[in-house]
C-alpha cells in the first residue's frame, strides 16, 4: 500500500493507494461522526464495491444517476435534501464511492450542506484516483460549461482502491489515461508500462505537491489543467450543442494536450520535436488526437472564453522554455488557426 499526503497544514489528509484501500474508510471519519451517508451509483453498487464497506458508524446508501448528466445542481438539491431527511448533521460524514462524477457531486453537496460537512472519497475509477478525487475541487456543470459551479472543500482522506479498476470498461480506462498522459509533462510521471498501482501513486504524488503549493488555483495549480481548456470546451459543446459527440473526459484531455502543444509551437514556445513528444506520449496510452466530426473553431472558442482560468481574456496552460505554465492574453486568431490545423471548420 502506498501512503501519500496532501499537506495543507490543519487541512492535511492522507491518500492511500493499493488493493483493498476502501476497507480503511473507518480510520478516517471525524471523531464527531455518529452516522454516515454513502453516495454512489448503481453501476458501482452492482460491481460490489460498496459490499463490506464498514465506516464503523450507522450508514445509509444513496444512489445518484450514472454518467456526466448527473453533474447538475438538480442532483445536488436532491442529494442534500436526502441528507436533511436522513438527519445528517454537520458533525457527521459523507462517503463518496465512485469515479469523478460521484466525488465531484458528493463533495460539492458536502461542501454546501450545513455550510460544510466532512467527506471521504473512495475512488473507484482511474480518473478519480489520479485526479478528480484529490485536491478538494468539487462542482457541477451548467449548460454553459463544465464545472462552472463548485467549491474548494478538502476531503478527510482519499482511498484509491486499485482492486476496483478490474471492472472498468475500456472507455473508462481511457478517461483515466488522459489524465495520466497529462502528468507526463508535469513531473516524475509514470509510463504506460508500469504497474497500475505505481502509475496511480506517482500521479497522486505530483498532484499532491502542486495542491500543497497552491490550494485554490491562484497560480501554479493551473498547470493541472494542462490540456483541459479545449477538453472542457469539447465536453461543454457535447453537453449542450452536440449530443451526438461521443467524447469522454480523458479522451478530450488527450485531444486538448495535442492542441496545447500545437498552439505553443505556433506561439514559438516549443519546437516540432516537443510536439512529436506529445504525440508519442498520447499514443503510448492509446488515446485519440482528432477533433470530433464537424467541430467548429468559432463555437469552441466561445466555450474556451468561459473557462475558469480566463480573466476577460483567453488563458491557456502551455508548454514552453520554463515548462508548463499559464499563459494569458492568447490571441483568438492563433487559437482558431490551431483548431483549423486540427481539422475544425473556421
Q: Which positions are annotated as active-site residues?
A: 115, 137, 179, 207, 217, 221, 225, 228, 232, 249
| Burial bucket for residue 14 (CB in 10 Å: 0-12, 13-18, 19+) | middle
Phi, psi of 230 (to 5 degrees): -70, -40
Cα separation values, 108 from 71, 153, 184, Å = 10, 8, 29
Amino acid at each position: 500500500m502506498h501512503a501519500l499526503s496532501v499537506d495543507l497544514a490543519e487541512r492535511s489528509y492522507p491518500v492511500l493507494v493499493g488493493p483493498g484501500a476502501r476497507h480503511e474508510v473507518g480510520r478516517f471519519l471525524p471523531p464527531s461522526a455518529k452516522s454516515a451517508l454513502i453516495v454512489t451509483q448503481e453501476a458501482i453498487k452492482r460491481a460490489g464495491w460498496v459490499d463490506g464497506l464498514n465506516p464503523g458508524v450507522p450508514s445509509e446508501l444513496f444512489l445518484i444517476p450514472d454518467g456526466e448528466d448527473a453533474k447538475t445542481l438538480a442532483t445536488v438539491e436532491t442529494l442534500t435534501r436526502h441528507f436533511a431527511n436522513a438527519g445528517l448533521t454537520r458533525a457527521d460524514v459523507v462517503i463518496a464511492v465512485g469515479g469523478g462524477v460521484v466525488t465531484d457531486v458528493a463533495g460539492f453537496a458536502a461542501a454546501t450542506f450545513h455550510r460544510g460537512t466532512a467527506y471521504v472519497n473512495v475512488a473507484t475509477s482511474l480518473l478519480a484516483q489520479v485526479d478528480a478525487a484529490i485536491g478538494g475541487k468539487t462542482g457541477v456543470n451548467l449548460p454553459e460549461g463544465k464545472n462552472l459551479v463548485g467549491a474548494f472543500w478538502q476531503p478527510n482522506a482519499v482511498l484509491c482502491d486499485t482492486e476496483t479498476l478490474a471492472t472498468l470498461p475500456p472507455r473508462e480506462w481511457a478517461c483515466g489515461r488522459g489524465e495520466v498522459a497529462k502528468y507526463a509533462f508535469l513531473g516524475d510521471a509514470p509510463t504506460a508500462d508500469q504497474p497500475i498501482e505505481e502509475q496511480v501513486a506517482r500521479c497522486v504524488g505530483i498532484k499532491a505537491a502542486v495542491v500543497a503549493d497552491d490550494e485554490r488555483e491562484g497560480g501554479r495549480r493551473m498547470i493541472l489543467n494542462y490540456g483541459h481548456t479545449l477538453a472542457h470546451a469539447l465536453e461543454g459543446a457535447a453537453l449542450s450543442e452536440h449530443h451526438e459527440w461521443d467524447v469522454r473526459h480523458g479522451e478530450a484531455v488527450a485531444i486538448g494536450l495535442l492542441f496545447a502543444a500545437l498552439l505553443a509551437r505556433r506561439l514559438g514556445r516549443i519546437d516540432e520535436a516537443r510536439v512529436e513528444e506529445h504525440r508519442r506520449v498520447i499514443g503510448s496510452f492509446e488515446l485519440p488526437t482528432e477533433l470530433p466530426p464537424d467541430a467548429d473553431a468559432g463555437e469552441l472558442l466561445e466555450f474556451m472564453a468561459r473557462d475558469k482560468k480566463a480573466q476577460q481574456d483567453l488563458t491557456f496552460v502551455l508548454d514552453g522554455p520554463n515548462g508548463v505554465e499559464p499563459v494569458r492574453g492568447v490571441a483568438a486568431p492563433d487559437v482558431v488557426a490551431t483548431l483549423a490545423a486540427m481539422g475544425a471548420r473556421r
